Structure 1
Amino acid sequence: MKNISFLFLLLIFGFQAQAQNQSKQRLTQLMGTHPVMGLSVAVVKDNKLVYKEALGWKEDGKVPLQTSDIFRIASISKSFSATSIMQLVEKKKLSLDDDVSELIGFTVRNPKFPDTVITLRMLLSHTSSINDSEGYFTLDAINPAKNPNWEKAYNDYEPGKGYQYCNLNFNTVGAIIEKYSGERFDHYVKTHILDPLGLYGGYNVDELDASHFAKIYAYLPDSAKFSPSPAAYASKKGEIDTYVMGYSTPIFSPTGGMKISAPDLAKYMIMHMNYGKGEKAKIISKNSSQLMQTPLSSDENYGLALWKTNTLVPGIELTGHTGSAYGLFSAMFFDPEEKFGIVVISNGCGPAYEEGYNRVIRESVNVLYEEWIKK
C-alpha cells in the first residue's frame, strides 16, 4: 500500500510539474504574440491554490514582475463592496430593498419615473437606471443640490426594468456602507474582509507599501508603445484631510479601487466559490453568497457584483467579474460546483476584445483552464 501511495504522489507531482512548465511556456508564447507589459496569474483547483506565476515587467524593462506584487484590479473591486453590503444586511443594518434616497441622504429618483423607488438591490445589479454621463468620481454627479444637470444621470427606462453597467452605482454603495457601518469605507473592507481572510491589500494607497505596486501602463496602438498611468496609484492624502463620511467615499473608488495580488485575489475567490466561507474565516452566509451569484438581469446575466458567462471559456459556465482601467485588464472567474477558479491580471496589454473579453485575458484564462482543469 505504501508503494501505491508513493507512486500516486509521484504521478500528482509529475502532473503539476508538467502543468507548470506548459502553462509558463504557453503564456510566454502568448506574450510574444500580443503586446503585454506583465501578467500575473493564479489557479485554484479542488479548493486549493495550485499555481501562481508572474511574467513580464513590473516596471518597463527595469523590474521583473513578482507574484507578490499588487495591482489596482479595477471592477472586480465591486464584489468587495457588494460583500460588505451583504454583511450589513445580515446584521439587519440594511435591506436590499431599502430606498437609496433614504440611505444616502438626498433624493435619488429617475425624473421620468419619480414614483418608482430606486433600491440598494438595483444599485448592486446595475438595474437602477442611473448612468455615468455626469461622472462618477463624486456623488455630486447625482445630487440635485450639487449638480444642475443631475437629470442627465438617469436613463429613459424605469428603474428595475433595464440594465446598464454604471460605476456611480457602486461609488454610491460605498457611501452607504460608511453611513451604516460607522467605519470609513477602506477601513471597513480591510477589517471585515481582508484581515479575516489573511489577505494583503486595500483601497487606500497611502496605507499600502508602494514598493509592491505593479506599475500600470496603457498600450497606445497608434505608436505601439506603453505609456505609464500614474493616476492608478495617486495619493488621496489631500482629500482625506477634508473627508466627509458617507459622501466623500468615491475618492477610494469602491467601484474599482482595490489593490491586491493575483494569489491573494484567488484566496478571496475561494471564499465566493465556497459560498461565503474562506480558508480562514466565514465572511458571509451561504444565502447571501448565492444571492450575489444569481443573475437578476437576463441581458447580462448579472447578479450582485458577480455575473455568469459561458463564453470566456467556451461552453463552461463560470461566475465572476472582469476589470479594466488605466490600461490594466483583469479577470476572476470560478465554478462553485467543480471548485476551480482562475485569476489573470495584466498591468498593461493590447486593448483588443474577443467574445466580449480582452483578448490577452481571455486567451490566458483558456491556457490555464486547458493545462490545469481540463486535463
Structure 2
Amino acid sequence: MRHALLLTLFAALPASALGQSAGPARASVVFDRHGEIAATASGIADPSSRRSATPDDPVRVASISKLVVTVAVMRLVEQHRLDLDRPIGDYLGYPVRNPAFPGQKVTLRRLLSHTSSLRDHDDQYAIPLGQTLKSVLDDPASWDPLHGPQGDYFTYANVNFPVVGSIVERVTHERFDMAMRRLVLAPMKLDACYNWPTCSDAAIKRAVVLVQDGAVVKDDLRGRQPACPVFVHDGQNCDLGGYRPGGNGSLFAPQGGLRISARDLARIGRMLMNGGTIDGVRILSRRSVAAMTRPAWVWNGSNGDSEGGIYCRFGLSIHLLATPQQSCHDDPGLPKGDWLGHSGEAYGLRSGLWWDRKGKRGMAYYTTGLPADTPMGKSAFTAPEEADVARAVTLLQQAP
C-alpha cells in the first residue's frame, strides 16, 4: 500500500517538481528488500518520435553490465563449471600470461576484481567479428609491464570482460548473449539483453536512443532489431552463422552492452540485497553474494589507480562506496550506510545501481544526453551523477 501511495503522490506533482523536461531521457527507481518504492522518468527517449521516457524503457547501462555478467559467472561457479582461482587458459584452451610475469597465473578472480594486469589501450577490447580474443591477449601492449596478476594492483580495465565473456562461452557452448539470457535474465524475469538480439520486440520499440553533444550515437533502432548486433569493420559482412562460441567474447559487449530498464535494473539490486533471492526465487547462494561483495582490493595509496579517489574498495564487479580514507572521494552524496554496486558511463550516459546493506534500501538510475566533457561534482563522481543520487535520496526520504 505504501508503494501505491507514494506513486500516487508523485503522479500528482507538477512536472517541474519532478524535474521533467523535453530534454534527454532520465529515470530513477528506488527500492527496499520487499520491492519497488517509487519510480520516476522524464525527458525524451527517442528524439525522432518524441516518445517520452518511462522507467520501463531499456537503455545501454554501460559498465553496470559487468556486475550482471558476474552474476552469471557465480552461477557457473556454483554449478562447478568454473573455478575463480584456476588459470583461465584452462578454459580458453591456450596459455594466458602477462609476458612480463610469465610465472604468475591469471584467474577469473583477478579479472573480476580488475587486478589481472590486463590494461585497456586504443579500445582493443572491442574486437570485431572475424578476429579473436587470443590476438588481443598475445599483444604485449594489452598487459601492464610493471605489475603482475598476482600483485593485487588495481586498474579498472574493460578488456577483462571480453575474456570473461569468452570463458562463459567456452564452458556453456553458447553465444554470450544467449548464455546470459539463460543464466540470469530469464530466471529473473527481466526483459533485458546484451546488444538486442534476445530482447523482446516490445523492448526494442521502447529503446532509449543515446545522444551526446547533440548527436545520436547509439541505439536509434526505429522499432527494429539492429541490422548487425555486433562490431564489424565498415564493409565487413555481418554473418554470425560461422561464429564459434569462445573465440571472441567481446562481440556482445559484456563490458557495457546490457540493455535494461531502470525498473529491471532495480530487480538486480534487490536480488543481491536479499542475499541472492528475488520474489522467492534463488538466483545465487548467499555464499556467492558474499564473495562478490567482499572487498578483493582496498586502496592503500600506492597499490593501483584510484582514478582520483573514486576507486578505493572493489569486490568481484562490485564497487564499495564511501571509504573512510582522506584520499578517497567515492561518496556521491549517499545517506550514511554501507553502499555498494556499480556505475556506468558511455555514449553520453551516466548510470548507477547502488544498495545499502545496512538500511536495506537502494536505487537504480540513469541520465542521457551528457556532453563528453561532463562537469565533475564535489566527489570523484560527475555532477550529473551526484544530481541523480540526490533525486533518488529524495524519493527514499519521502517514502511513507
Q: How many residue pairs align between the two structures? A: 354
How many Å apart are 1:127 and its aligned residue?
Answer: 0.2
How many Å apart are 1:325 and its aligned residue?
Answer: 1.3
Residues 148/114 of structure 1: CA separation in 2 closer, same or farther (3 Å cut): closer
Q: Give the structure 1 partner of residue 125 of structure 2.
A: 136
How many Å apart are 1:25 and its aligned residue?
Answer: 4.5
Which amino acid is the alignment partner of residue 101 of structure 1? G
Which structure has greater helix proportion? 1
Contact 1:57 1:63 in 2 (8 A): yes
Q: How many angstroms apart in 1 are the aligned matches of 2:285 and 2:340?
A: 18
Q: Give the structure 2 partner of residue 295 of structure 1.
A: 295
> Cα RMSD between the aligned structures?
2.6
Q: Give the structure 2 partner of residue 3 of structure 1.
A: none
Residues 242/329 of structure 1: CA separation in 2 closer, same or farther (3 Å cut): farther
Q: Give the structure 2 partner of residue 268 of structure 1.
A: 268
How many Å apart are 1:252 and its aligned residue?
Answer: 0.2
Matched, 1:190 2:167: no
Matched, 1:89 2:57: no
Matched, 1:305 2:317: yes
Q: How many angstroms apart in 2 are the aligned matches of 1:66 and 1:183?
A: 33
Report sequence identity in percent. Answer: 26
Counterpart of 1:319 (choices 340, 350, 353) is 340
How many Å apart are 1:249 and its aligned residue?
Answer: 2.1
Which amino acid is the alignment partner of residue 49 of structure 1? E
Contact 1:27 1:364 in 2 (8 A): no
How many Å apart are 1:358 and its aligned residue?
Answer: 2.8
Q: How many angstroms apart in 1 are the aligned matches of 2:52 and 2:191?
A: 20
How many Å apart are 1:353 and its aligned residue?
Answer: 2.5
Q: How many angstroms apart in 2 are the aligned matches of 1:15 and 1:267?
A: 19
* 1:311-350 matches, cutoff 5 A: 311-314=331-334, 315-350=336-371
Counterpart of 1:174 (choices 152, 165, 171) is 165
**Cα-to-partner distance string for 1:37-93 (whole Å, 9 max, x where unaligned):** 110111103431011121000122722112221101110000111111111111111
Residues 149/366 of structure 1: CA separation in 2 closer, same or farther (3 Å cut): same
- TM-score, with structure 2 as normaliser: 0.81
Name the SS of the counterpart of 2:390 in structure 1: helix
Worse overlay, 171-180 or 240-249: 240-249
Which amino acid is the alignment partner of residue 80 of structure 1? V
Residues 115/74 of structure 1: CA separation in 2 closer, same or farther (3 Å cut): same
Q: How many angstroms apart in 1 are the aligned matches of 2:350 and 2:31?
A: 20
Matched, 1:369 2:360: no
**Cα-to-partner distance string for 1:278-333 (whole Å, 9 max, x where unaligned):** 12521110010111011111123111111110202344431100011111211000
Q: Give the structure 2 partner of residue 214 of structure 1.
A: 208
Contact 2:210 2:369 in 1 (8 A): yes
How many Å apart are 1:147 and its aligned residue?
Answer: 5.6
Name the SS of the counterpart of 2:111 in structure 1: helix
Residues 21/321 of structure 1: CA separation in 2 closer, same or farther (3 Å cut): farther
**Cα-to-partner distance string for 1:329-361 (whole Å, 9 max, x where unaligned):** 110000133221101112322422221223212
* 1:1-375 matches, cutoff 5 A: 17-18=8-9, 25-28=16-19, 37-60=24-47, 62-133=50-121, 135-138=124-127, 143=134, 146=135, 150-155=139-144, 156-161=146-151, 162-208=153-199, 209=201, 210-218=204-212, 220=213, 226-230=214-218, 235-236=228-229, 238-299=238-299, 300=311, 301-310=313-322, 311-314=331-334, 315-350=336-371, 351-354=374-377, 355-373=379-397
Q: Give the structure 2 partner of residue 4 of structure 1.
A: none
Q: How many angstroms apart in 1 are the aligned matches of 2:15 and 2:393?
A: 13
Worse overlay, 149-158 or 232-241: 232-241
- TM-score, with structure 1 as normaliser: 0.86
Name the SS of the counterpart of 2:277 in structure 1: coil
Q: How many angstroms apart in 2 are the aligned matches of 1:20 and 1:241?
A: 48
How many Å apart are 1:265 and its aligned residue?
Answer: 0.9
How many Å apart are 1:372 and its aligned residue?
Answer: 1.5
Residues 20/127 of structure 1: CA separation in 2 closer, same or farther (3 Å cut): farther
Q: Which runs of 5+ in 1 are unaligned?
A: 1-8, 221-225
